[in-house]
Structure formats: C-alpha cells, structure tokens
Amino acid sequence: MLYNSLIKSNKELRMQLAYCDYIADTIKILLKRDISDSEDTGDMYLESISNPKLDLHPIGGYLLSTKKTMLLTDVNGKEYKITVEEL
C-alpha cells in the first residue's frame, strides 16, 4: 500500500518539475566533451562554454525563474548565448 502511494506521488511530482537544470547541465557536459575531443583530433570549432547561470533578481539575488543561460565561444572568438527556459 505505502509503496503504491509513493510511486503515485513520485509520478505526480515528476510531472510538476521543470528540468532546466538537467537539460542545461547535459548540454554543458556534451559540449565540453566535444571541445576536449576536438583538441585531440585538431578539428576545433568551439573554444569554451560557461557554467549555467541562474536567472536571479539583479538586486535581491533571489531566483526569478528556472531559466539557465550559458555562453559559448567559437575558435574565432564569436560568442553565442544558449538559453534553456521552460515554456
């Protein structure tokens, strides 16, 4: 009985969560791996990626949303912004 209620509540909880942290972290890990592999092969297109930045209030510092933003730099120094945001 208790097990079934835990499973049910876990499924309900999963439906309410936003996975911005997980998605942003996965993107960062895969791009860092690509950058590292490219250094080994000499086929470099990307230079670096920042850690995900939180969407914080500029003065109060509290969380405004689950949005995560990363900056990516290519080998020519051009920057790109990657944003993960729940809709």
Binned average pLDDT, 10 residues per bin, the chain of 87 residues: 56 73 96 89 89 95 95 96 95
d(CA 7, CA 76): 50
Predicted pLDDT of residue 2: 55
Predicted pLDDT of residue 21: 94
d(CA 71, CA 7): 38
Predicted pLDDT of residue 39: 79
Predicted pLDDT of residue 3: 52
* Token pair belonging to 22: 């997980």
CB contact at 8 A, 33 and 50 = no
**Given phi > 0 = left and psi -120 to 50 = alpha, else beta, which region is 42?**
left
d(CA 53, CA 83): 9
Predicted pLDDT of residue 72: 96
